[in-house]
Structure 1
């Protein structure tokens, strides 16, 4: 291990140093300041005779007299099952006052790409307890399903609700054996405020969710460079628990917008040619390296499921961050500002939301055989009710037919009873679908053209429909 005192330039979070031997990309570096403080960094770029180093703790205190040591290895995460229940900072160091972590292994935070041939297709249901997700945009094990939010919207509350409520319902495999895998949550927070961090920790401790969780906290006043490391540490921990210890792991990453801003900041310090809206041209590849670490592997009982959360700048879904995320992931859950202003909790707009793997995660033997039909019918009825709201603004409700008024009433009830449930209500999939049938029973049977007739006969609330007609 060689030590250099050849720093030539300090620019933002970057340090440039001359070397006389090849240095590996992503190699870990220790920088000792003249004051005796040791800082950690990582090789960002290596060329003949000079390297650029991104310093995790920031470059304060570093000058040309500082010493640079290259450790000859990439950054590794110490992993063990005992991480469950622990709170770590954005660099993976414990901050909960607990004992020192004694790892079983040290795994490279970059991870290993899953061989496409070894991937198992995601098709097993995860119950979040949130009707707008479970009923209309079902999450399945091994999926990556982001939440598209906006500044000021309660995405943190939804994230906490999913973290404490998410479960894998007990199901039997083809041989009749129950899936004995346990469920764990990895929560990675990037660039959040101290107030948000306290809110997260209070909720985790109050509800007991921390016992099955590993929390990584990168605060807004922490270095931007650390923000690039935090999600990789979280995903490395998730992969260990899933593929070594057979856990079903749900990874919640918030906020990916802060992560991408860190990419842009470091790209500017490196004087890179910017891409769209100033973000690096390689941002698509960088995000894909994170999102594609979700999945299932053939022969392994565990799974890694991702819910990345991002705030769309200016509520613009064409912004590079949500745009690229949408290309890589399998759908999106969209939070709506109008629903939020009406007091709907959580304010999830199911019309632009989508889960591309939903059809594979529902149906007979997975949730209930009526799930797909109920979801399709509610989506169609709510969409028609939304269109009629625009018409009402022009001609008034009195000009609409009795049929149209029923669809308007359905849209109102759908928002007030199905989407609205608060952040402390945990609905099973059975409760969600029963509520869906209650709403659909307000519509005439002839309008339920997306549901099998046998299911209508079994679940339709005939008495409720007759009472509604008498009242009308």
Structure 2
């Protein structure tokens, strides 16, 4: 029995009991497996499954009802046999191996290396959910008074109290022009990449027969997402930072779907990956109009990047109505539209061209079409191993802006134009 292995019930010289194994699968429902006749199962406990073909999978206990346990299998339930599948309760929660050797490495969501490097030797195993109920750490009340600086909060991957954060003001150079120039990321920021695919969270909720919320998703989605995202930041009194750039999938490319919609309330912007750009062989397919970085303004400018950074970004894409992904309204052909940015106007001219034909466009309209094509093919598009510095990206932006006469560049102050436009 597993009870004999509980802490404090055995003499120090005895050997703890091995994890309990069962062959009592009594039901499979989507990603969930129901086990019967289990003893001492615990909430959030990790369960290892051995399938009839010898392959292994892992899962986590979601609910315990008497002698039954409901386990969510991380890798899916296909191939799980009710008679021959063995389930082993580990007696522990999900922990992540950590070490200083992880710095600079690339891992998947299960903390396994995916950069072709060697395995990481763990110095410790930390609970990925933090230790509930503790009164210290980043979520604790902030100490006050003269001795406060001697007791900085810990930073171990747990959700961080926003009151203990430092406002991010240091830009991270990604080497990707559409991100560095138009959507600069600051150290400690949380900014997701919106991509296309599907999410099973509503399927798990339905399998557990929970009360559905919007579009069948459970009502606790917002708090679940917040516990994931609120682990990023820079903590006052501590060195280092945690920056989150998760990939978030949007079913049917729908940005109003509950998952990306709720995520937008928590994160500080988003990078939007566009299917149409991908189909046109533009890599990386970043749509700069709906993309946004709310902390960009504090991480750019003179002393951090370059004094023309904000002006170039505004003129290329803009942050007004057109910059949020809406089409720029048109006046008479040839009329100047200084309140809108070049790329937004170019998209609008492209749509008009499909209706009236290229012959009906004004000379200025043709300039915007030329800019649109070159911006997507030269600025957004990069080689998979091409890394541009922020200064190279800004210079490329100026090269594209010189397609227009100076009088059309209304978002850039005259002093900045005088310094950078003639180059």
Q: Structure 1 residues 393 and 110 mapped into 2: Cα distance closer, same or farther (>3 Å)?
A: same
Match of 2:384 among 410, 423, 428: 423
CA displacement at 1:26 relative to structure 2:
1.4
1 CA distance for matches of 2:287 and 2:261?
A: 18
- Give the total of aligned pairs: 352
> What is the aligned-residue RMSD (CA, Å)?
3.6
Q: Which residue of 2 aligns with 1:453?
A: 414
Q: What does residue range 364-403 of structure 1 map to in structure 2 within 5 Å?
A: 364-379=302-317, 380-403=341-364
Q: Deviation per CA, 1:268-320, whole angstroms, max 9, x where unpaired? A: 33233343444333333222222222221112221121222234322222223
Pick from 265, 269, 279: which aligns with 2:217? 279
Which protein is richer in strand relative to its size? 1
- Name 2:98's counterpart in structure 1: 79
1:105 is the counterpart of 2:119: no
Contact 2:284 2:381 in 1 (8 A): yes
Q: Secondary structure at the match of 2:63?
A: strand
Per the alignment, in what secondary structure is the counterpart of residue 281 of structure 1? Answer: coil
Matched-pair contact (CA < 8 Å) for 1:15–1:55: no
Q: Distance in 1 between matches of 2:271 and 2:177?
A: 12
In structure 2, relative to structure 1, the CA distance for the partners of 1:53 and 1:343 (3 Å cut) is closer
3-state secondary structure, aligned to 2:125: strand
Q: 1:396 to 1:53 in 2, by over 3 A?
A: closer
1:231-262 C-alpha deviation (Å, 9 max, x unpaired) = xxxxxxxxxxxxxxxxxxxxxxxxxx4xx32x
Aligned 8 A contact 2:97 2:126 in 1: yes
Query: What secondary structure is seen at the aligned counterpart in 1 of 2:80?
Result: coil
Written as runs of structure 1 = structure 2, the 5 A alignment for 1:335-374 is 335-374=273-312
1:188-219 Cα distance to aligned partner (Å, 9 max, x none): xxxxxxxxxxxxxxxxxxxxxxxxxxxxxxxx
- Determine if contact 2:50/2:85 at 8 Å carries over to the other structure: no
What is the correspondence of 1:51-130 to structure 2 with a 5 Å cutoff? 51-55=69-73, 58=77, 60-61=80-81, 63=83, 69=89, 71=91, 73-83=92-102, 91-92=110-111, 102-111=121-130, 112-130=158-176
Following TM superposition, by how much is the alpha carbon of 1:62 offset from its aligned partner in structure 2, in angstroms?
5.3
Residue 50 of structure 1, CA deviation: 4.8
1:9 pairs with 2:26: yes
Query: Does the aligned pair in 2 maintain the 1:6–1:18 contact within 8 Å?
Result: no
2:181–2:309 contact (8 Å) kept in structure 1: yes
The structure number with the bigger radius of gyration is: 2
Task: Tell me, yes or no, if structure 1 residue 413 matches structure 2 residue 366.
Answer: no
CA distance in 1, matches of 2:416, 2:115: 52
Residues 389-436 of structure 1: CA distance to partner in whole angstroms, max 9, x if unpaired?
Answer: 223333344434333333333223222322223323211110111111
Distance 2:227 2:218 in 1: 15
- CA distance in 2 between counterparts of 1:67 and 1:395 reads 67
Which one has the bigger helix percentage?
1
Q: Is the 8 A contact 2:97 2:122 kept in 1?
A: yes
Structure 1 residues 31, 411: closer, same or farther in 2, change over 3 A?
A: closer
> Is the contact between residue 146 and residue 307 of structure 1 (CA under 8 Å) also seen in structure 2?
yes
For the 8 Å contact 2:316–2:343, the answer to whether it is kept is: yes
- 1:371-402 Cα offsets, whole Å, 9 max, x none, are 00111011111112222222333334443433
CA distance 1:458–1:78, shift in 2 (3 Å): same
Seen in structure 2, the aligned counterparts of structure 1 residues 459 and 5 have a Cα distance that, compared at 3 Å, is closer
User: Larger RCO: Structure 1 or Structure 2 (Cα < 8 Å, ≥ 6 residues apart)?
Assistant: 1
Mapped contact 1:5–1:64 kept (Cα < 8 A): no
- Structure 2 counterpart of 1:136: 182
Q: Could you tell me which residue of structure 2 aligns to residue 26 of structure 1?
A: 44
Compute the displacement of 1:119 (Å): 1.0
The corresponding residue for 1:243 is none
TM-score, normalised via structure 2 length: 0.71
Displacement of 1:29 in angstroms is 4.7
- Return the alpha-carbon distance in structure 2 between the equivalents of residues 136 and 11 of structure 1: 47
**Structure 2 CA distance, aligned partners of 1:403 and 1:376?**
19
Residue equivalent to 1:193: none
